[in-house]
Every structure is written in structure tokens, then in C-alpha cells.
Amino acid sequence: MSSDRSSKRRRTTPPTATPLPTATPLPTATPLPTGGAVVHGFDLGALILPEEQGSTSFEDAVPESVAHFMRDAIKTHGMLIIRGQRPSEERARELVAFASQFAAPGALFDPVRAIQFEVDGGGQPGLPMVRALGTVKDSMLCRMGYEWHVDASDLTILYCETAPAAGAETLFANAIEMHEALSPEQQALAESLRVVYSARYSAGGPAWLDAECGLRMNATGTRLARPALRRKPTWELGASQPVPAAIDVHGRRALQLSPKNLDHFVGYEHEASQRIAHELLSAGLGAPVSVAPLDPDSLLPTRPTEFGPRVYAHQWEAGDLIVWDNGYFAHSTTPVEFYRGERKILQIMFSGERAGVAGGSGRLMNPGGGQGTAQGEEDARLAQALSGVRSGLPSTRDQAEEAQKT
């Protein structure tokens, strides 16, 4: 009898409850002194990718809580640095999935909202919005030296697959802090300026092609030192409508100038416009610790220029990922001559509707640079035809001395 009662008690014991799902842990963001933030606790390899290789739907790859965190963080900090990503055979697709958290659905596959590249121009097979940059095979290499600019997009992603032992830094400057660093008179001038950008002094873009065709910047990347010596066959002037030199970024003012393609300020000649842009950018960036001399033949820096504390120099390591708002941050390349080893970077330039940063004027600063269109095979063929041109570019010591004055 007692055993029957015991059996009944066992049968009426409630089953063990199924644990409730735990919330996805959120990343954290640690602000940097120069602006931007380092993000911890995010893994590209954990993204859930569509099973079909040709799928264009990546919006659900990240838990919504994490996507919301990233969108808020880019709006707050302007630039996010995420280190230590493990190698992955799906890295290009993972980057597209990550970028899709900031853009409108399908925007990464829309040439109007994300720049698309041909395979011969560094584009990745099946993912034309992803371009390879660097010294390795099938990557595009820009030998411009220093060149402060804004990309032709709302947002840019760079991911490092291969990093050199030294050199190859990407430089960043907070455009809001640059505006705040100007004197009251300079701020008033910047607010009054309207800029026309064009390909008048370039080869027609993109930047790597301009450099191969002889265009050079000064040793701080703030002023055109020499126009391109030749133009690509499909060159067009591509002049923009006048755009402000100072813009609103989330309720604060930011200085936004790209001197390589700066044709003129409304009411000023080209040379005066270049001088004013150089003065404003130099004041915003702060005095450099040292400025490199330019080689009299190549018009490239003979050693690295050392910038001051307002400039963040990112020394790349394999697995580094950076995403930034082009209205919030300007950036600059560094001279290839000082790379110490191979470098490969994957790049995406795209719109930022879901992050609330859409509508920046970056597209207007890069005429001929491929905004909203595929980079044609003609540019890739031209790159091959121009291989070796660098060493034979005509130059004079007068040009070098004049460029070094700025």
C-alpha cells in the first residue's frame, strides 16, 4: 500500500522546467581620447549567414539587440574599432552581413547606395561591394602618400586580413573636434565656404589611378602639390554642386574638406581655395611634430610625417575591423614606401540609413571615384598599362620645393 502511494507521489512530481533563453550579451564600447571607441565582445564569426550563397538578405544575421547597440555606438562615437577577429573563409560575407545592420535592406547590393567594384578592380567574386586593398595579388594599391579625405559614402568598413610588421597605418581625425579647434575667425570662414569638387586636376579617379597618373599631395596630405600628368580615356569633369565646408553631425558642427578633388570655393580661384583648405585642415589637425621632405623626383615623402595628438594612427593587426561615419571622421592614407611587409584590407563603402547617418556629402567629394556605379574593367586595364609609370614621372626640384612649403 505504501509503495503504491510512493509511486503515485513520483508520478505527480512536476517535470523539470526548461530553462528560459538568456539574453544575448551586448558588446561594450570604450571611448578613445581622439574620438571613436574600441568595441569589445563582438565576434564576426558568430553571425548567422544565409544558407544560399547568392542571397542578398543579411539583415537578420545579428541579434537585434546587438545591431541596435552598434547603430547607437556609431552615432555616438562616429568610429568603432573591433580587434581580434578570428580568420574565416566567409569573412567577406560576414562583413556584408555586419554592414547590413547599418544600411537599408538590400542597400549593399544597390549601386546607388553602395559602391560596386569589378573583380579586376579588387572586387570580390559574387560580392562586388567588397574590395581588396593592399600589396597582395588582386588588390588595389594607392601610392598617394598622405591624403586627407572623405570617402564617397555615408559609412566605410575596413577589415585587415594581412598586416605588415610596421607602416601602413590609416590616420583618422575627428571632424567635429577639427571644427572646434579652429579660431572663431576660421570657424566663421569655414561656415561661409561653399565647395565645388571636380576631377579637373585628377586623372578622373579613383585615388590609386590619380596617383599612378602623377597626382601628388603635400607631405601632410592637406593640399594638392601637383595635378595629374595624364587622364584616363573616360575622364569627365564631374563638377559637384556647391556643398558646405562645415556640416551638421548630430547637432554639432564638423569640418569636411577633401583637397585632392577640391576645384574651388565659390568666389575664390583654385590656388587661393587650395591655400585656404590647407590652412583650415592644418589648424583642425593641429601642428605636426615633424613634416617629411618630399623627394624632388617622385614628390613623395622621404620619411613618415609625424602628426600631433589630434590624429589617431591605427597600426593594423590581422583581425582588426573599423567602421566609421564619413561625416564624423576624415582619414588619410600613409606612404606605401614605408610598409614593412604585405598588407591586405577588405573595404566596403555604403549608405547608413538604419544608423541615422544617411545623406552625407561624401559622394560629392569624389567625382570620378565610382560613387554609385561599378568600377569598370577599363580602369583595371589602365592600371596595368600604367604599371611602372611612377618611376618615370617628370618632375622638377622647383615643384618639390613649392610643395614642401605647404
Q: Which domains does the chain have, with CATH numbers?
A: 28-369 (3.60.130.10)
Model confidence at 20, pLDDT cuts 50, 70, 90, reads: very low
Report whether pLDDT(372) > 60. Answer: no
Q: What is the pLDDT of residue 59?
A: 82
Is the peptide bond preceding residue 206 cis, with omega within 30 degrees of 0?
yes
Give the pLDDT confidence score for residue 53 in this predicted structure.
63
pLDDT band at 359 (very low <50, low <70, confident <90, very high): low
Strands 224-226 and 170-174: unpaired
Q: Is pLDDT of 396 > 80?
A: no
pLDDT band at 58 (very low <50, low <70, confident <90, very high): confident
| Residues shown for the chain | 406
- Separation of alpha carbons 406 and 378, rounded Å: 35
Looking at residue 7, its pLDDT comes to 44
Is 280 a residue whose pLDDT tops 50? yes
Q: Which long-range contacts (CB under 8 A, 24 or more apart) does 182-185 make?
A: 182/255, 182/280, 182/283, 182/284, 183/283
The pLDDT of residue 362: 53
pLDDT digit string, tens, across residues 102-126: 999 999 999 999 999 999 889 999 9
What are the grid coordinates assigned to 210, written together?
Answer: 590619380
All three cell numbers of 274, joined, read: 587650395
pLDDT of residue 22: 52
Give dist(CA 94, CA 171) in Å, integer: 25
Q: Is the pLDDT confidence value at 73 over 50? A: yes
d(CA 78, CA 254): 12
**pLDDT (average), residues 29-57:** 88
Query: Using CA atoms, how far apart are residues 245 and 193, in angstroms rounded to an integer?
Result: 6
Report pLDDT for 51. Answer: 75
pLDDT-derived band at 264, boundaries 50, 70, 90: very high
SS3 278: helix
Quickly state the pLDDT bin for 403 (edges 50, 70, 90): very low
Q: Which residues contact 360 (CB under 8 A, 6 or more apart)?
A: 150, 153, 154, 247, 325, 326, 327
Residue 275 has pLDDT above 70, yes or no: yes
**What average pLDDT does the chain have?**
86
Which pTM does this prediction carry? 0.85
pLDDT band of residue 382 (cuts 50, 70, 90) is very low
Mean pLDDT across 168-188? 98
The pLDDT assigned to 365 comes to 56
pLDDT at 391 over 50: no
Cα–Cα–Cα angle for 315, 316, 319, nearest 5°?
A: 150
Residue 263 has pLDDT above 70, yes or no: yes
Confidence of residue 405 (pLDDT cuts 50, 70, 90): very low
Do 58 and 49 meet the contact criterion of CB atoms below 8 Å apart?
Answer: yes
Q: What would the mean pLDDT of 54-62 be, rounded to a whole number?
A: 78
Q: Which of these ranges, 116-130, 252-266, 321-335, 345-359, has the smallest mean pLDDT?
A: 345-359
Residue 54 has pLDDT above 80, yes or no: no
What per-residue confidence (pLDDT) applies to 5? 46
| pLDDT for res 120 | 87
Confidence (pLDDT) at 348: 97
Q: Can you tell me the mean pLDDT for 141-146?
A: 94
Cell numbers 604599371 label which residue? 387
DSSP strands (E only) in 15-67: 28-31, 37-40
Compute how many other C-beta atoms are within 10 angstroms of the C-beta atom of residue 388: 8
Is residue 64's pLDDT more than 50? yes
Average pLDDT over residues 278-296: 97
